Amino acid sequence: MAGRHFLQIPGPTPVPDRLLRAMNRQQEDHRSSAFPALTRSILSRLPHIINQTNGQCFVFPASGSAMWEASLVNTLDPGARLLAIRFGQFSHLYIQTARALGFSVDVIEVPWGEAAPTDTIEAALRADSGHAYQGLLLVHNETATGVTNDVGAVRAAMDRAQHPALLYVDGVSSIASLEFQFDEWGVDLAITGSQKGFMLPGGLGILAVSAKAMARIANAKSSRSYFDLRPMRDQNERGYFPSTPAISLLFGLDESLTMLLEEGMSAVAARHRRLAIGVRAAVAKWGLAQCARRPEIASNTLTAVIVPEGIDSAHIVDIAFRRYDISLGAGLGEVAGKVFRIGHLGDTNALTLAGALAGVEMALLDAGVPLTLGEGVGAALAHWRVA
């Protein structure tokens, strides 16, 4: 098809030309005396993305899921007990990963579309008077349901319960798009990847570790090899990596950091908020509900839309792809067939999203959802127009 494909899934997101250019270069000797300049440029600026001043950041040739594993094996002893909240496919998979690695996870079950319940978390931590839980697993932005959790409120619940568990936060679809206050929220491990807010291809796993969690790394008894943070820390200190880094992606990440910090993280978050409000206005105009059950928990990086009874959301996603050249996110896990997801994160703007919403409208109409063409787009434009 002529023209540009609309990649409107919640990651990977389109890669800006500036980042494509930054990566389009020859490989380099990662053991040369020139290489540490790149390593240092990245590792010194990554913490600014999440407002981190304690601890340090790590970058692996890997992906977000790999950082789930890295976060756990570097900080826990075999069989350690964890508390987790399940409210979507990615919180489910984080739990599955922990269990597969031999950790024992108690799960607070939450209906998909809801957010982490701070009262229940506080009660569970208070009940654990012996402090058996060594960590709390929380997905900041549940990409399956389009729900953002209030990490600061979860931290406050942990503090009220005076519980010393480490706070593990999956920020794969929030970091570098939404506000993320690593220090203020008392996050101990923050997990992300390169393919969403950083606007890069997939292939980098990024892990931020607090000073408190760094102190565990030396003594945690879990087996680890590739994801062992100790050799990574030692090599990083000198500007190198223990094994061959993803050099092209590192050049991309360095430029991505420059782009994000030029815009400013508050402005990045405000841009995502403004765009999300327009998308949500379109969804409301179509008469469709969001998977996020309350407006205050709706994500600013993606919107998960519930389709009317009797229509398979996978069908809508396929019509959109085949007829209108736009990729939308399918429903995952419990909400497969019931929702589709519109990504509005990374390198995007109002006009791109207006085109995307036009594609969604046509696909919805084709699939039998009654609507008038242009009404959702119009509602979004009313929000985005600079009056």
CB of 210 to ligand PLP, least distance (A): 19
Residue 332 makes CB contacts below 8 A (sequence gap 6+) with 88, 89, 144
Task: State yes or no: residue 203 binds ligand PLP (CB under 6 A).
Answer: no
Of the candidate residues 41, 51, 65, 352, the single one contacting ligand PLP (CB under 6 A): 65
Per-residue tokens: 256 = 């991505």
The correct pick among 69, 170, 188, 255 for binding ligand PLP (CB under 6 A) is 170
CA distance linking residue 64 with residue 61, whole number of Å: 10
Residue 24, SS3 per DSSP: coil
From 8, 39, 52, 63, residue interacting with ligand PLP (rule: CB under 6 A): 63
Q: Which span (59-67, 102-110, 213-221, 291-299) binds ligand PLP, by CB under 6 A?
A: 59-67
Nearer to ligand PLP, 75 or 145 (CB): 145
How far is the C-alpha of 189 from the C-alpha of 57, rounded, in Å?
Answer: 10
If one asks whether residue 90 binds ligand PLP (CB under 6 A), the answer comes out as yes
Nearest 5°: the CA angle 9, 15, 20 is: 160
**Among residues 6, 7, 8, 11, the one that binds ligand PLP under rule CB under 6 A:** 11
Please tell me whether residue 201 binds ligand PLP under the rule CB under 6 A: no
Stretch that binds ligand PLP, among 49-57, 170-178, 252-260, 318-326 (CB under 6 A): 170-178
Residue nearest to ligand PLP (CB): 64
Q: Which of 39, 52, 173, 290 binds ligand PLP (CB under 6 A)?
A: 173
| Farthest-apart Cα atoms in the chain, separation | 63
Is 221 in contact with 38 (CB distance < 8 Å)? no
Query: Hey, CA dihedral for 257, 263, 266, 269, is it positive or negative?
Result: negative
Query: Is the CB of residue 148 less than 8 Å from the CB of residue 115?
Result: yes
Residue 163 or 344: the one with the smaller Cβ distance to ligand PLP is 344
Indicate whether 172 belongs to the interface with ligand PLP (CB under 6 A). yes
Q: Contact 359/212 with Cβ under 8 angstroms?
A: no
CB of 97 to ligand PLP, least distance (A): 10
CB nearer to ligand PLP: pick between 35 and 340: 340
Q: Single out the residue of 197, 243, 271 nearest to residue 49, CA to CA.
A: 197
Could you tell me where the DSSP H helices lie in 74-117?
89-100
Q: Token pair of 334, please?
A: 């419990």
Stretch of residues binding ligand PLP (CB under 6 A), selected from 14-22, 28-36, 61-69, 311-319: 61-69
Q: How far is the CB of 65 from ligand PLP (least distance, A)?
A: 3
In order of 286, 315, 378, 380, the CA distances from 367 in angstroms are 13, 7, 21, 22
**Contacts to ligand PLP by CB under 6 A:** 11, 63-65, 90, 139, 143, 170, 172-173, 193, 202
